[in-house]
């Protein structure tokens, strides 16, 4: 990325993604002396995504909600660890918001969580590398965790509930093939 680009241009997104994925792939399976700092990286990537989305002049420029999650999966971080790291980063945001977090932001966070689950099951059904490590029980636990949070949101969440049902059906399909 050249020095003349602006953060808001988003030209850094691909370079950051490629660096994280390369770093993850380089140290995966290297032994216990190498540690990929998943929680730290997830937190940093999610913060960058949020700031960029807020600074971006239009929705066309924004980074998808599941970007941090898919970067971690592409870096060979297992589903459970990737999901928990991004979910925890969102939870930290919820707890550090001054005056509490509005239900609209909570709704956006749950849309991101549902998108993460959708991208994983779709990638798994498509035999995408890095998307086959979660068994049905791990997926079901993540789905239930998100469902509980979704149901606590006062707005109409019927669309998210349907998306979660669809994810659960696909997870059941995956369990049949395992």
Residue-wise pLDDT for 25-36, tens only, equals 888 666 656 677
Q: Residue 177: is its pLDDT beyond 80?
A: no
Cα 68 to Cα 112: distance, rounded to the nearest angstrom: 10
Task: Report the pLDDT value the prediction gives residue 31, as an integer from 0 to 100.
Answer: 61
Cα 13 to Cα 62: distance, rounded to the nearest angstrom: 10
Q: What is the pTM assigned to this prediction?
A: 0.84
Q: Write out pLDDT tens, residues 79-136.
A: 999 999 999 998 887 666 555 667 788 888 999 999 999 999 999 999 888 788 888 8
Per-position DSSP letters for 2-25, written without gaps between them: -TT--GGG-THHHHHHHHHHHHHH
Task: Report the pLDDT value the prediction gives residue 10, as an integer from 0 to 100.
Answer: 74
Q: Which has the higher per-residue pLDDT, 62 or 166?
A: 166
Task: Report the pLDDT value the prediction gives residue 57, as an integer from 0 to 100.
Answer: 59
Residue 11 sits at the vertex; the CA angle it makes with 26 and 13, to the nearest 5 degrees, is: 40
């Amino acid at each position: 990325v050249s020095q003349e680009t602006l953060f808001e241009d988003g030209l850094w997104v691909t370079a950051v993604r490629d660096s994280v994925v390369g770093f993850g792939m380089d140290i995966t399976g290297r032994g216990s002396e190498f540690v990929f700092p998943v929680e730290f990286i997830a937190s940093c990537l999610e913060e960058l995504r949020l700031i960029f989305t807020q600074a971006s002049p239009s929705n066309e420029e924004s980074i998808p909600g599941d970007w941090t999650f898919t970067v971690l999966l592409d870096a060979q971080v297992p589903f459970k660890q990737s999901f928990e790291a991004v979910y925890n980063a969102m939870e930290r945001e919820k707890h550090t918001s001054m005056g509490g977090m509005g239900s609209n932001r909570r709704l956006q966070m749950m849309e991101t969580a549902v998108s993460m689950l959708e991208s994983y099951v779709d990638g798994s059904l498509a035999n995408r590398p890095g998307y086959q490590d979660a068994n049905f029980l791990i997926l079901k636990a993540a789905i239930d965790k998100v469902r509980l949070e979704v149901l606590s949101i006062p707005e109409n969440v019927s669309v998210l509930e349907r998306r979660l049902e669809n994810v659960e059906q696909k997870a059941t399909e995956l369990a049949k093939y395992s």
